[in-house]
Structure 1
Amino acid sequence: MMFLNKYFNILLQIIIGGKGGGLIIENFALNLFKAVIALIIVIDPLGNIPLFIGLTKNMKKKDKKKAFNTATIVAFFLLIVFVITGKHLLNLFNISIYSFMIAGGILLLIISIKILIYGEWTEKVISPENIGAVPIAFPLLTGPGAITTAIVILQTSGFLATLFATIIVFFFVWLTLQFIDEIHLILGRVGSTVIARLMAIFIAAIAIQFIIDGINAYK
């Protein structure tokens, strides 16, 4: 109950203002913006469009939309579950958030390097059933990179910023998947690959910053 009251009071200050309300709104908006950008870069729905197209190419349009709706819902709730339980799991194994930042940064760096080399970070393994949940929702949308980023955002920006950022990002993901054929026609395979590699550079930058922040915490 104290947990809920804490965030309810913060949300109330954001909505109605009050003493320090302007500063709270400014800080929250900045944290939310950074969180949204980080998650979009890591999840990279635009860069993964060729892969999503390939995974659903034999589906009817109705089945494809159903698969993408399932993928968005499953991926969203999966990431929220990891965000809520992530800190408790770290405490359970006596792992500090700074160690997790370093490990997560290394993982993100590996992912970014693979994207730069191959244009994607995961193998094209097509699941014969429930393709919306696996592999589109997990691990393509909510994978190691997204989970790592979300947990670190939770620690640095707070629960509300992480929650709203996740909602905003997955709404963008849902829109992308709803109009995936049209976007693919506009971007083309080359355009999507360029976006994927460009996002990989930003992922690498985020990864290095995670590592630096984690190391600095031990100094």
Structure 2
Amino acid sequence: MNLSFKEIATASMVLFAVIDILGSVPIIISLRNKVGHIQSEKASLVAAGIMVAFLFVGERILHLIGIDVNSFAVAGAFVIFFLAVEMILGITLFRDDEPETASIVPIAFPLIAGAGTMTSILALRAEYAVQNIVVAILVNVLFVYIVLKSSRKIEKVLGKNGLSVIRKVFGVILLAIAVKLFATNASELC
């Protein structure tokens, strides 16, 4: 097992930016206020399970429907690009309706392990070793758990402006990663 710190760090940053758990703090707080309690442990474990399972069977599902990983990675680069544009410009191109109950379904999926996360995982798989992506997923799930547990404190400490700055910085990083994913995988399509 060859663990690469560089690959783990890059994959962790991609997933951190796509999951955008800090940017989701207002949604989490709103859900917590509506229903009283969020099951942080369950939400984190289910999200981890979904992401790791998709890492291993996602490619098979693609092959079953006749799509190669490079094509999916290019498509993923577009999704990541638009997520980055949303983060940087503070606009909403696409969002699901805010869920009405705070259970595993709205938190673990689609808030944490949503379409952007799944696309990113397969795009990363086209470029990085699986074990490094698994470690990156676990690092992010640990961070998600911490944020879910302490969302009220985070909101008080960072404030709206702090959350906005973090969101924009990771938007720019995500934009650069989208360009790199596109450039790397588009050449493989010909």
Instruction: State the TM-score, normalizing by the size of structure 2.
Output: 0.89
Distance 1:117 1:37 in 2: 20
- Per-residue CA distance 1:148-186 (angstroms, 9 max, x = gap): 111222232222111111111101111111111111100
The answer to which structure has the higher helix fraction is: 1
Residue 99 (structure 1) aligns with: 71
Larger Cα-atom Rg: 1
Contact 1:69-1:132 within 8 A present in 2 as well = no
| Matching of residues 124-163 of structure 1 within 5 Å | 124-128=97-101, 131-163=102-134
Distance 2:32 2:165 in 1: 22
Whichever residue aligns with residue 177 of structure 2, its letter is I
Gap regions ≥5 residues in structure 1: 1-9, 11-23
RMSD across aligned C-alpha pairs, in angstroms? 1.9
Residue 36 (structure 1) aligns with: 12
Residue 182 (structure 1) aligns with: 153
Report the CA distance between 1:122 and its aligned residue: 2.4
3-state secondary structure, aligned to 1:58: helix
1:205 matched to 2:187? The reply is no
Change (3 A) 1:194 1:122: farther
Report the CA distance between 1:98 and its aligned residue: 1.2
3-state secondary structure, aligned to 1:156: coil
Report the CA distance between 1:48 and its aligned residue: 1.5
**How many corresponding residue pairs?**
189
Contact 1:109-1:208 within 8 A present in 2 as well = yes
Q: Percent identity?
A: 24
Distance 1:144 1:209 in 2: 20
Q: Which one of the candidate residues 45, 51, 54 is aligned to 1:73?
A: 45
Whichever residue aligns with residue 22 of structure 2, its letter is L
Distance 1:119 1:51 in 2: 16
The structure with higher relative contact order (CA 8 Å, sep 6+) is 2
Distance 1:197 1:187 in 2: 14
Distance 2:97 2:90 in 1: 12
Q: Which one of the candidate residues 51, 61, 74 is aligned to 1:89?
A: 61
Residue 15 (structure 1) aligns with: none
Change (3 A) 1:104 1:150: same
Contact 1:48-1:196 within 8 A present in 2 as well = no
- Per-residue CA distance 1:84-103 (angstroms, 9 max, x = gap): 11111121122121111111
Distance 2:62 2:97 in 1: 31
Distance 2:76 2:124 in 1: 12
Instruction: State the TM-score, normalizing by the size of structure 1.
Output: 0.78
Residues 109-118 or 148-157, more deviating: 109-118
Contact 1:75-1:141 within 8 A present in 2 as well = yes
